[in-house]
Amino acid sequence: MEFNVDEIRKDFPILHTKNMGKDLIYLDSAATSQKPIQVINAIMEYYKTYNANIHRGLYDISVKATEGYTNSKEKVAKFINAQSYREILYCKNTTEAINLVALTWAEQNLKEGDGILLTQMEHHSNIVPWQILSKKKRLVLEYAKVENGVINMDDYKKKLENAPKLVSFTHVSNVLGSINNVKEMTKLAHTEGAMVHIDGAQSVPHMKVNVKDIGCDFFSFSSHKMLGPAGIGVLYGKDEILEELEPIIGGGDMIRSVDFEKCTWNELPWKFEAGTSNIEGGIGLGKAIEYIEGIGIDNIRKHEIELVRHAIGKLEKVEGVAVYGPELGKDKIEGRAGVISFNIHGAHPHDVATIFNSEGIAIRAGHHCAMPLVNKVLNEPAVARMSFYLYTKKEEIDKAVDTIEKVKKVLRIKKHR
Ligand code: PMP
């Protein structure tokens, strides 16, 4: 199918609404994506026609709900090339998925003095769970350096020599847009005997991810960033690893049998999903994956590369604008995802975002839940960020870049670096 952004936009009702009386220009898809009508309808249809609890009903609508929920796991497994849906655990979001790795595998396998290696470009959700666990178990946390918008691989290799037991890094930076070579990083970590977790919150929605090919042990992502509903996320884990782990939340559905003294666990993935599931979330996520596959994930990636090339080309020409991220040069724009952080010299990013809003443009400003990266590596209190998806148009980027001149005018910025 030919990629046609105008046709795609027809599926997204919110893109035809107003913001501050102007056409909404949504440039904050890294925070959350908009939802196509197909996903909205799938959730509505579930509530209108087959709402029932799953796994326990012998009546038709419960069977249908169970099928919808389980089929969505099969779709997720196929989408990221997991072995089977036994490897797909549903939880709330990427954050909860990472916490689940910390509270299961890491809690059950690490001991005092063991090391965990992260990088300086991590989102808080891939820092804080490890800090909490490190404090509790007296673990040693290290961070591979980030320089010129990318992970310094020499530093990464050097820190791997300290033989960390677990390495956890992001696939794509939500601030810098850099795409890490996760296959190579995983191979290096495995050579040193470490387990590998990858934060795929910013990759799975935008590019082909193949967990088998990458070879990682765990991989996390969120439905709400990939056209699906909020409140549901995925932890992929290798079958043989999950099989060995003890669950941390007990209750209905996660057991095979319960006696007054003891119980036995259900099979994967249900062992990790106690209580009533986010049924409509699973059904919505399944529909979102169907939608993405209908467009083609490679077509989405190609579209976003063109958007980044266009945006960087435009921003480079604007006086007084600093763009953060990898210094790749125009010929290597493929190393960047559709996330561009920038600052306007003399303007606070919050003022920038407020003035953008007055033009109907939604961008984000702040530390983007990556305070160590923004404050210590970029040396900025905050940055403004525009981020794209399959429904973003070049004209919208043009409008955003034009608005930079309005920012300068409103804030009376005259001199530039
Ligand atoms: N990691 C990265 C790289 C992210 O961009 C985000 C969301 N901004 C998260 C983790 C956390 O995702 P969620 O809020 O859905 O748990």
Same domain membership, residue 249 and residue 264: yes
Predicted local distance difference test score (pLDDT) of residue 38: 98
Same domain membership, residue 53 and residue 22: no
- pLDDT tens per residue across span 348-374: 999 999 999 999 999 999 999 999 999
Whether residue 58 has pLDDT greater than 80: yes
Quote the number of domains for the chain.
Answer: 2
- pLDDT tens per residue across span 372-387: 999 999 999 999 999 9
Counted residue by residue, the chain has a size of 417
Cα–Cα dist 394/314, whole Å? 11
Residues carrying an active site annotation: 369
Question: Can you give the residue range of the structural domain that contains 399?
Answer: 5-28+296-410
Same domain membership, residue 209 and residue 172: yes
> Is residue 34 included in any domain, yes or no?
no
Average pLDDT over residues 18-28: 96
> Is residue 190 included in any domain, yes or no?
yes
Pocket test residue of 28, 121, 123 for ligand 1, highest count of atoms within 8 A of CB: 123
Q: Using a 6 Å cutoff on CB, does residue 222 contact ligand 1?
A: yes
Same domain membership, residue 402 and residue 304: yes
Predicted local distance difference test score (pLDDT) of residue 329: 63
Atom of ligand 1 nearest to the CA of 96: 16
Residue where one domain finishes, among candidates 293, 310, 325: 293
Cα–Cα dist 124/96, whole Å? 12
- pLDDT tens per residue across span 93-111: 999 999 999 999 999 999 9
> Is residue 417 included in any domain, yes or no?
no
Residue where one domain finishes, among candidates 262, 293, 324: 293
Predicted local distance difference test score (pLDDT) of residue 331: 57
Beta strands in 120-251 (DSSP E): 140-144, 146-147, 150-151, 166-170, 195-199, 218-222, 233-237
Same domain membership, residue 230 and residue 92: yes
Domain with residue 375: its CATH number is 3.90.1150.10
Cα–Cα dist 12/374, whole Å? 32
> What Cα–Cα distance (Å) separates residue 170 from each residue in 7, 120, 160?
32, 10, 16
Residue where one domain finishes, among candidates 242, 259, 293: 293
DSSP classification of residue 219: E
Same domain membership, residue 143 and residue 46: yes
Cα–Cα dist 279/231, whole Å? 10
Q: Using a 6 Å cutoff on CB, does residue 125 contact ligand 1?
A: yes
Atom of ligand 1 nearest to the CA of 171: 3
Predicted local distance difference test score (pLDDT) of residue 239: 98
> Is residue 135 included in any domain, yes or no?
yes
Same domain membership, residue 350 and residue 249: no
Pick from 279, 272, 281, 333: nearest CA to 304? 333
Å from CA of 96 to ligand 1 middle: 10
Whether residue 415 has pLDDT greater than 80: no
Confidence of residue 259 (pLDDT cuts 50, 70, 90): very high
- pLDDT tens per residue across span 140-167: 999 999 999 999 999 999 999 999 999 9
Atom of ligand 1 nearest to the CA of 172: 3
Average pLDDT of every residue of the chain: 96
Predicted local distance difference test score (pLDDT) of residue 330: 57
Q: Using a 6 Å cutoff on CB, does residue 223 contact ligand 1?
A: no
Å from CA of 224 to ligand 1 middle: 10
